[in-house]
Amino acid sequence: MFKKLAGVVLSAAMLAGVLSGCAGAENNSTQAGQEAENPKESMSASAETGSEGATTGEQVEIDWYVDLPYWTWTGQGFGEDLTSQMIMEATGVKINFIVPASDDSEQLTAMIASNSLPDIMTVEGWWDNNSRMLTYQMAAEDYIWSFNDLMEQYCPEMKDNIRQDVFDWYAEADGKTYLLPNFAYSTEDLSEGEQLVPNGCITIRQDLYEAIGSPDMSTPEGFLDACLKVKNEVKQYNGQDIIPIQLYEGVGSSISWLAQYFATPYEDEDGNYLYDFTQENYKEALQFLNKAYHMGLITDANFSDTRDLVNEKIASGRVFCQITAPQDFVASMQSLYDADPKAVYVPVVLKNSKGEDPVLQDIRGFGWLTTCVSKNAEHPEAVAKLINWLLSDEGQIATTFGKEGVTYTMQDDGKIVYTEEYEQAMAANDTKKYGLSAMNLLSNYAFTRHYESESKDPKIIATVDTYIKRPMAQYSYDFTAQGLKLDPADPRKAEMSQLSVKISEFRTSTIAELVTVSEDSFESKYQQAVDALNGMGLDKLIEYNNDGFQNAKKALGIERSWPPYLK
């Protein structure tokens, strides 16, 4: 059976993913080859339930495998910093983290084949097809615990610390949940009617914008004219030519975000799934970039820029407009701010030619990474209680903010403020001894954000994404259903996965061609692309995705998802 599952891992690894994840920092692991109702009371109550996870006997040591070569424990080392010491004190568990030397799944495959799965495993979330199929197969063949059974047998109190809507979303066909995500947004942690900031965002340099007279940039024509004016009138910054429009690495994400500004629907009036590329508003977004290209506002370099190059260009001050995810470029914007406090980015509201409001995807979702427990675990009760404490309010606050009186103080309004000791450590870049946020594998930011104090630091306000994007929250909505909930047991799964990869690769090359083709040839080239997609079997993929879309809406308890239909 283990050889069979190992084959599944290898087969899944052959399917190229269409999305990419996030990155980590320096490694101390083992590498092979709006407001909460009463946050202060919530924390006090959790201190009682969270401590129930502590083991009463001798210390237990477990292995926790993280299937990401770039993931790291960013503290001093487990057992050497404040965070890990708090974990061991509360749970009696010492963790030995293991990460692979590469992302080819070779180490995980070997562990499966040799029946040597570690106690806990963390892999990419369901958005990654490889991980989705792997975890489904592991659950189906009884290699991992369902958390329903783990809780019932070893830790009933965990039921008080899970977020039920997130837990139910991850249920398999048997009704049981085998994975717990990090960075998921539960309705339990959101205020009624709360709108979160978007993921992607169009931002412009405020000082350069004011230098050209602060023109209207809400229309496609006005936006491009303003960028051209910066190019022709401002021309340079610190002796370097201005880059009027900078796209994200790979370009594709920028197209998706721009299409959201152009209000491209993903659901029709009857509640069926719509494929973005064939929608009129998506076509207009492509045509917008085509015109920008021929106006000299974007260049061929955008199609080869890496994340590092984009960071470098933003930090240099050359970029006027960026169609990116600001959270990925905070460090670059802060470097620029240090050199020139007037060089700050602000959001702009760009609308399509019909004047429709943007419909942006917010930052919520049901997680980034997913964690499961192996049936090989020698100490399942200790593992269950460790996970329970990490999920608890006490554990979330401890792993995010540290220890009260040492790294933070709790204010009367329930907000957390860092101590002078920790502020000095941050200023001196000497925070590893505390290890705050190093344990992010079960982080629930939707909960811990309620404890964050509003910054008064102008640099933070000007450069941190949550502040920059705040004005765009009014246009930002829950797109969870658009992410689909596909049935891994569907007999069409393998065929549709291969077709999805094929279509994704075609789109990548075609989008580059559509952006650079002559304006006169755009219409015919676009129609050729649509015809080619249809010839590849797009109708089958749409039908398959529609089933996943309906499943997602059913799981969410909604009939409609496209925000304009909900108003």
Give pLDDT, residue 251: 85
Range 423-435 average pLDDT:
94
Q: Please, what is the average pLDDT of the chain? A: 90
Q: Which of 24-28, 58-62, 82-86 has the lowest mean pLDDT?
A: 24-28
Structure tokens at 219: 């229309």
Percent of the chain residues topping a pLDDT of 70:
90
Distance of CA 267 to the CA centre of its chain: 23
Give pLDDT, residue 58: 82
What confidence category does residue 261 fall into, taking pLDDT thresholds of 50, 70 and 90? Answer: very high
Range 327-354 average pLDDT:
97
Range 406-428 average pLDDT:
96
Asked whether the predicted pLDDT for residue 30 surpasses 50, the reply is: no
Exposed/middle/buried for 27, CB within 10 Å: 0-12, 13-18, 19+? middle
What confidence category does residue 252 fall into, taking pLDDT thresholds of 50, 70 and 90? Answer: confident
Decide: 21 and 124 in contact? Cβ < 8 Å.
yes
Give pLDDT, residue 97: 98
Domains of the chain: 2-191+366-452 (3.40.190.10), 201-363+460-481 (3.40.190.10), 482-566 (no CATH)
What confidence category does residue 43 fall into, taking pLDDT thresholds of 50, 70 and 90? Answer: very low
Decide: 367 and 137 in contact? Cβ < 8 Å.
no
Give pLDDT, residue 129: 78
Decide: pTM greater than 0.85.
Answer: no
* DSSP strand pairing (345-347 vs 60-66): unpaired
Render pLDDT for 489-507 as a digit per residue (tens, 0 to 9). 999 999 999 999 999 999 9
Range 202-212 average pLDDT:
98
Structure tokens at 263: 């209000």
Range 24-45 average pLDDT:
40
Give pLDDT, residue 57: 61
What confidence category does residue 2 fall into, taking pLDDT thresholds of 50, 70 and 90? Answer: very low
Segment holding 477, helix H or strand E: strand 476-477
Render pLDDT for 118-176 as a digit per residue (tens, 0 to 9). 999 999 998 887 888 889 999 999 999 999 999 999 999 999 999 999 999 999 999 99
Give pLDDT, residue 130: 82
Q: What is the CA radius of gyration of the chain?
A: 24
Give pLDDT, residue 26: 35
Range 19-26 average pLDDT:
32
Give pLDDT, residue 76: 95
Asked whether the predicted pLDDT for residue 284 surpasses 50, the reply is: yes
Exposed/middle/buried for 553, CB within 10 Å: 0-12, 13-18, 19+? buried
In degrees and rounded to multiples of 5, residue 416 shows phi and psi of -100, 135
Identify any residues that bridge with 30 across adjacent strands, giving them in sequence order.
98
Q: Which of 17-21, 280-284, 452-456, 515-519 has the lowest mean pLDDT?
A: 17-21
What confidence category does residue 438 fall into, taking pLDDT thresholds of 50, 70 and 90? Answer: very high
C-alpha–C-alpha distance, residues 321 and 203, integer Å: 6
Give pLDDT, residue 131: 85
Give pLDDT, residue 20: 31
CA neighbor of 363 nearest in space, from 439, 466, 256: 466
Q: Which residues of 236-392 form beta strands (DSSP E)?
A: 236-237, 240-241, 243-247, 319-324, 345-347, 360-361, 369-373
Cα atoms in the 13 Å half-sphere on the side-chain side of 316? 17
Range 330-343 average pLDDT:
96
Give pLDDT, residue 401: 98
Choose from 69-78, 183-192, 226-235 the range with maximum mean pLDDT: 226-235
Give pLDDT, residue 402: 98
Q: Write down the H helix ranges in 141-279.
A: 147-154, 164-169, 206-211, 220-229, 252-261
Give pLDDT, residue 287: 98
CA neighbor of 188 nearest in space, from 207, 169, 213: 169
Decide: 428 and 416 in contact? Cβ < 8 Å.
no
Asked whether the predicted pLDDT for residue 254 surpasses 90, the reply is: yes
Cα atoms in the 13 Å half-sphere on the side-chain side of 463? 20
Q: Which residues of 33-187 form beta strands (DSSP E)?
A: 60-66, 93-100, 120-124, 180-181
